[in-house]
Amino acid sequence: MVELLVRPLADAFMQVGVYVAVLVALFGWLRWRYGSRVTDGLTRHPRLGPLVGALLGVSPGCGGAIILMPLYARGKVSFGTVVAALASTMGDSSWVVIAADPDFALKIHALLFAVGLATGYTVDLLGIDPARALHRPAVRRESEPGPVDIPAAGPTVTAAPGQRAALALLTRPAPVVERQRRMSTAFWGLTTPAFLVSVPVVFHVVDPSLLSAPLGGVDPYLILGCAGTFVAVLIFAAGRGRFADDTLETAQPRTVRDALRHSAHEASFITFWVAVAYLGWQILSTTTGFDGSQLALAGAAGVIVGALIGLIPGCAVQIVFTGIYVSGGLPVTTLVANAISQDGDALIPLAALRRRAAALATLITTVPAILVGLTLLLFLS
C-alpha cells in the first residue's frame, strides 16, 4: 500500500514540488527586479522581437511568454515575437523535466529555443499577422463603444467592451489573493524542511534509512512528502481548481511577497497534477502490468498525438503528459512534439485579447512540432 499510494504522493512533492517552489520564486524575483527592462528594450528594438520572444518563452514557466501578450495587443511587438515565445515555451511542465532530469531539461530547452527562434522569424518574414489591421490607427465613429483599459503587466492595453468577460478570467479577486497569501506562508514553512530532506535523498547523498533511524523508523521523506502534497491540494482547491495558474498579474509580480505567494501557488498547481500523473500511472501499472509500450504513442503516431495534445490550452494536461514521460510511459519524440506544440497558460490571455491571433498562433506552433518530432524520430532510428 505504501508503494502503491503513499510513495507516488510523496514523490510528487519531494521530487518536483519543492524544487519548483524554489525555482519559481527565483524567476519571480528576477521578473520583479528586471522584467520591465526587458519589455521596454523590446519595444525599442522590434527586429530583436523573435529573439527576445524565444528567450522569454524558453524560461521555465509561463510568465515570460505571458508578458508579451498585452504588448502584442497594443501593436508593440510583432506576431512572430508571440509565435516564437509560444513555440519555445514548455509552460509549467518544464519544471517537471528540470526536477526529474536537469541534463535532459537543458537539451530540450535548447531545442525549443532554436525552434521558437526559427519559427518566429519565419512568421515575420512571411508577413503573417492576423491583427495587423487592428494595429493601424483608425477613426472611430461616435456611435461605437470606446475601448476599455486592461490591467496588464507592462504597458496599458485596450480592448473592446465585449472582451470584459474573458479578461475577468485573467485576474484574481482580492479575497482569493489574501487567502492564498496566508496559505503560502504555511506552504513555505513546510517546504523549507522538505527541501533539506529531499536534496540528500533525491541525489543519493545519504541512505533514506539513516534519516528514519533517529525518528524511530518514521520516514521523514514520506511524511513531509505526503504533507506537502496535501497542502498543495488545499492551495489548488483554494484557487478553485483552475486549469491555468498564470495570469497577466502574476507574470510581473509587484513585490517579493507576491512572487513568493505565486511560487507557492504555482508549485502547488504543478504538484497536484504531477501527483495525479504519478498516482494514476502507479495504480495502472501495478494493477494491470501496463508499462506504456502497449500504447500507439511511439513512432510517427506518437509524434502526431503529442502535437495534438499540445493544442489543449493551459498547463494541466501538459503537466500530466510530461509526468507520464518522466515515469517512463512516453518516448522522447512524443514529448518533444508536445513541448513545441503546447502554449502553456500564455495562450489564455492572448485568446482574451486577440482570439484570431491565438487560434492562428497555436496552429502555427503545431507545424514545427510535427516536423521536428518526425525528424528526431528518423535521427534516433
Cα–Cα separations (whole angstroms), residue 123 to 49, 118, 362? 12, 9, 13
Cα(93)–Cα(239) distance, integer angstroms: 19
pLDDT in the model for residue 268:
83
Residue 171: partners with Cβ closer than 8 Å, 6 or more residues away:
151, 247, 248, 249
Cα(68)–Cα(70) distance, integer angstroms: 6
Cα(375)–Cα(369) distance, integer angstroms: 10
Can you name the residues that pair with 148 across neighbouring β-strands? 159
**Crossing angle of helices 102-125/49-58, nearest 10°?**
150
Interval 20-50: pLDDT, tens: 777 677 767 776 777 666 556 666 777 888 9
Kindly tell me if the per-residue pLDDT of 145 is higher than 50.
no
More confident residue, 367 or 95: 367
Cα(205)–Cα(213) distance, integer angstroms: 16
Interval 286-324: pLDDT, tens: 887 765 555 556 788 889 999 998 888 777 778 888 888
Longest pairwise C-alpha distance within the chain: 78
Interval 341-365: pLDDT, tens: 998 777 877 887 788 898 999 999 9
pLDDT in the model for residue 238:
80
Q: Which of 35-49, 168-182, 223-237, 260-274 has the highest mean pLDDT?
A: 223-237
